[in-house]
Amino acid sequence: MNRRYLAQRLLNEGHLSQKELAELLRQRSFGAFEKAAASLEGTDEHPAMTAVRRLAGPELQIEVEAYSEYMELLMDSLMDFLEAPAVIDTQMVPPDETSAVFYAVSQRMDGDMSIVSGIMAESREFAELATRYSEEQFDAPEDEYAMDSLEEFLNVVNGVFSVREAVKDEEIDLEVPRHGKLMNPMGNQQLVLRVYADFGMFYVVLASDEFM
């Protein structure tokens, strides 16, 4: 299977703990993932989608396919555009965990389906996401260009998603991205995912309407 998916499979199947995974990602110890992969049985070519399906639960039966496809694209995009290996945590995010998360960007995709996707992070991780995408150094997310950078990244990912959906005769239009801070996401049909990357942890929010 694709090497970039090994860590997600190892977490999904319980071969690595959350703490072990976060440390190996921080160290970029990709050889350790390959060594641990020897214990994997069977095949799962879409472990990011598997993780999302498990977390979505029965209340998101209608949305889960689109949410899981979106997250696989986002995880690939983090690697392709930011060179940031990342893994979706397999544990649910309690509603109060994001109440003090400082910075967020979101974008609504509307048309034959309605999805709002967003990224939320603390100051250091938000600035690092923006820095990696733009290849410009941002020390604080308050920088207007840091916000612009992550809004652009989200717009690129969502543009690719809309093109893929168009192949399935699903027409989607992208609205203007938004940003904010000090908020607790409150969207309908919402799924909040904890994502670990080599620089730290952040959240991805998916909902059927604007959560900011």
Question: Which pTM value belongs to this model?
Answer: 0.92
Domain that holds residue 106: 3-207
Question: Looking at the domain assignment, is residue 150 inside a domain?
Answer: yes
Overall number of domains in the chain: 1
**CA 65 – CA 63 distance, rounded (Å):** 6
Q: Side chain identity at 12, as an amino acid letter?
A: N
Question: Looking at the domain assignment, is residue 191 inside a domain?
Answer: yes
For residue 190, the domain's CATH number is: 3.40.1550.10
Question: Looking at the domain assignment, is residue 126 inside a domain?
Answer: yes
State residue 139's pLDDT score.
81
Find the mean pLDDT for residues 38-44: 75
Residue 105 · residue 150 · CB < 8 Å: yes
Question: Looking at the domain assignment, is residue 212 inside a domain?
Answer: no
Question: Looking at the domain assignment, is residue 193 inside a domain?
Answer: yes
Question: Looking at the domain assignment, is residue 20 inside a domain?
Answer: yes
State residue 18's pLDDT score.
85
Mean pLDDT of the chain: 90
Exposed e or buried b for every residue in 127-158, given b needs 16+ CB within 10 A?
Answer: bbbbbbbbeeebeebeeeebbebbbbbbbebb
Q: What is the pLDDT of residues 184-210, one digit of tens each?
A: 888 899 999 999 999 999 999 999 998
Q: Mean pLDDT lowest for which of 30-39, 43-52, 75-84? A: 30-39
Confidence of residue 3 (pLDDT cuts 50, 70, 90): low
Question: Looking at the domain assignment, is residue 172 inside a domain?
Answer: yes
Question: Looking at the domain assignment, is residue 87 inside a domain?
Answer: yes
State residue 20's pLDDT score.
87
State residue 100's pLDDT score.
76
